[in-house]
């Protein structure tokens, strides 16, 4: 009896889960897919905003990895300690795995401590504990200067800080604190969504209507806790009473130590997601594939990788190439959601469009989450009790 074809997927986020589910659905028991993650549950990025603004709580948005089951599919809770991309061998805290095909989908690590003063004086909202602490800070806020800022680039989900500004406006308005508060957004980008001018215009119009200050091309270098001010790249300062910050992003140390990265992230062929090591793919935020760091892209890349593995197992070659399409269902406030579609096709200028904010799009966003929960975790999911 020949040994089963072994696929090892490192990381159970958007990218890793999509690879694993597609392989299990298509190849069943013909292939053994082992997915490794240190965590016990998955949380959608957008759920962190729901937690921060008190729309739901963290327990409700967790999708436990014990629900990831299927033919030929095994979920393993372990820390990845080392990767040997030449041998396709992975060292875990619980043993060693060797793969015929290895998929690295370990995402981007968050490092709030890399920005001096941030942990002492501000709140990052990109992790679940960070979003919970930011929720408490918002609950205790009595009005004043709210600053939403970014501390490194690239960062996950470029529309998220703009969504945060619009949702902060709603939050303060509902508590009768808006008149006593200012909201300012500092972004390292020239426009809110650079590849989609129509979306950027609509977001800037929404900011103007709500008197949210927009400050493009601004990156925070450090925070001065004594002065309660952020210090920007050019040395200038801006004061705050409440700082909501996107923390610094960095590649997981284990992929750097493995020699997989160049200039920070893992370079891949943007059409196939192959790394320079035979039989080793990388998808999602851990790569420099040329797409934004967002779940929609990680998921699409995961599907492309799965198609190539399926073709290999069937003894052929996949002709599917990754197209760089992604859609973000962006919160606009007032329960309305816009659909921002962008395409980062390899070798082409990125472009995009927007379906204007509506309550129908808000429903589509709920459905997109519940559909993924059903597909990846085989369960029904109602993350937000009522909107
Ligand atoms: C506030 C916020 C809002 C967002 N909104 C959206 C949105 O509306 N739409 C959208 O498309 N994207 C959104 N995103 C971005 C999205 O969440 C990420 O881009 C996406 O999760 C990336 O998927 P990934 O598979 O590359 O990595 P991840 O989903 O980050 O998964 C990586 C996994 O690897 C595991 N891991 C890492 N290192 C190790 C190790 N050494 N050992 C074991 N396991 C390890 C981690 O535990 C993690 O589960 C948002 C993000 C945030 C923070």
Asked if 74 and 172 sit in the same domain, the reply is: no
Residue at which a domain ends, from 201, 230, 249: 249
Average pLDDT in the chain:
96
Contacts of 9 (CB under 8 A, 6+ apart): 16, 19, 20, 33, 34, 35, 36, 103, 105
Residue 166: alpha-carbon gap to chain centroid = 19
Distance from the CA of 387 to the center of ligand 1, in angstroms? Answer: 24
22 and 36 both lie in a single domain:
yes
Whether residue 71 sits in one domain with residue 20: yes
Residues 245 and 257 reside in one and the same domain: no
pLDDT value at residue 304:
97
- What is residue 381's predicted lDDT score, i.e. its pLDDT? 85
- Is the pLDDT score of 1 beyond 60? no
User: Comparing C-alpha atoms, which of 222, 282, 291, 294 is closest to residue 256?
Assistant: 282
Query: CATH number of the domain that 158 lies in?
Result: 3.50.50.60
Using the predicted structure, report yes or no on whether residue 387 has a pLDDT greater than 90. Answer: no
Cα separations in angstroms, 92 against 12, 29, 35, 79, 208: 15, 24, 12, 6, 51
Are 199 and 309 contained in the same domain? no
Task: Write down the pLDDT at residue 380.
Answer: 87
Same domain, 118 and 244: yes
% of the chain exceeding 90 in pLDDT = 95
On whether both 40 and 30 belong to a single domain, the answer is: yes
CA 237 – ligand 1 centroid, Å: 31
Protein residues whose CB sits closer than 6 Å to any atom of ligand 1? 11-16, 36-39, 45-46, 48-49, 79-80, 105-107, 126, 156-157, 160, 252, 254, 284-286, 293-296, 298, 328
CA distance 348 to 235: 36
Q: Is residue 380 part of a domain?
A: no
The CA distance from 141 to 247, in Å, is 21
Phi and psi at 373, nearest 5°, equal -60, -40
Average pLDDT score over residue span 233-248:
96
Segment holding 331, helix H or strand E: strand 325-333
For the segment 69-98, what is each residue's pLDDT rounded down to a tens digit?
Answer: 999 999 999 999 999 999 999 999 999 999
Q: For residue range 138-167, what is the model confidence (pLDDT) as tens digits?
A: 999 999 999 999 999 999 999 999 999 999
- Domain identity same for 237 and 163: yes
348 is a domain residue:
no
Residue 225 maps to a domain: yes
62 and 154 in a single domain? The answer is no
pLDDT score at 383: 80
Q: What is the pTM of this model?
A: 0.97
Count how many domains the chain has: 2
Beta bridge partners of 70: 73
Rounded to an integer, the average pLDDT of 175-179 is: 98
Residue 347 confidence (pLDDT) above 80: yes
Q: Using CB atoms within 10 A of its CB, is residue 127 exposed (0-12), middle (13-18) or buried (19+)?
A: middle
Task: Print the domain residue range for 169.
Answer: 113-249
Cα 14 to ligand 1 centre (Å): 7
């Amino acid at each position: 009896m020949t040994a089963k074809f072994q696929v090892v997927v490192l990381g159970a986020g958007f990218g890793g889960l999509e690879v694993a589910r597609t392989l299990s659905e298509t190849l069943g028991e013909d292939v053994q897919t082992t997915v490794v993650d240190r965590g016990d549950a998955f949380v959608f990025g957008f759920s962190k905003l729901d937690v921060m603004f008190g729309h739901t709580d963290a327990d409700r948005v967790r999708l436990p990895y014990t629900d990831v089951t299927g033919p030929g599919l095994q979920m393993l809770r372990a820390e990845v300690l080392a990767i040997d991309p030449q041998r396709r061998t992975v060292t875990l805290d619980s043993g060693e795995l060797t793969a015929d095909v290895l998929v690295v989908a370990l995402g981007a690590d968050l490092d709030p401590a890399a920005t001096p003063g941030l942990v002492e004086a501000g709140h990052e909202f990109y992790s679940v504990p960070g979003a919970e602490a930011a929720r408490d800070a918002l609950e205790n806020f009595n009005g004043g200067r709210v600053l939403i800022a970014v501390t490194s680039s690239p960062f996950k989900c470029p529309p998220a800080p703009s969504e945060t500004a619009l949702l902060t406006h709603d939050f303060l308005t509902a508590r009768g604190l808006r008149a006593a508060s200012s909201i300012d957004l500092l972004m390292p980008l020239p426009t809110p969504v650079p590849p989609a001018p129509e979306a950027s215009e609509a977001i800037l119009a929404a900011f103007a209507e709500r008197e949210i200050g927009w400050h493009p091309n601004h990156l925070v270098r450090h925070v001065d806790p004594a002065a309660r001010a952020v210090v920007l790249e050019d040395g200038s300062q801006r004061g705050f009473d409440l700082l909501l910050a996107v923390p610094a992003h960095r590649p997981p140390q284990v992929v750097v130590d493995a020699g997989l990265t160049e200039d920070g992230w893992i370079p891949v062929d943007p059409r196939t997601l192959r790394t320079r090591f035979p039989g080793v793919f990388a998808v999602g935020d851990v790569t420099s594939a040329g797409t934004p760091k967002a779940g929609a892209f990680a998921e699409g890349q995961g599907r492309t990788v799965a198609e190539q593995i399926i073709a290999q197992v069937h003894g052929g070659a996949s002709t599917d190439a990754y197209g760089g399409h992604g859609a973000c269902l962006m919160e606009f406030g007032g329960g309305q959601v816009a659909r921002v579609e962008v395409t980062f096709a390899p070798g082409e200028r990125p472009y995009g469009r927007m379906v204007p904010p509506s309550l129908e799009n808000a429903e589509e966003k709920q459905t997109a989450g519940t559909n993924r929960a059903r597909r990846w975790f085989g369960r029904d999911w109602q993350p937000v009790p009522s909107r």
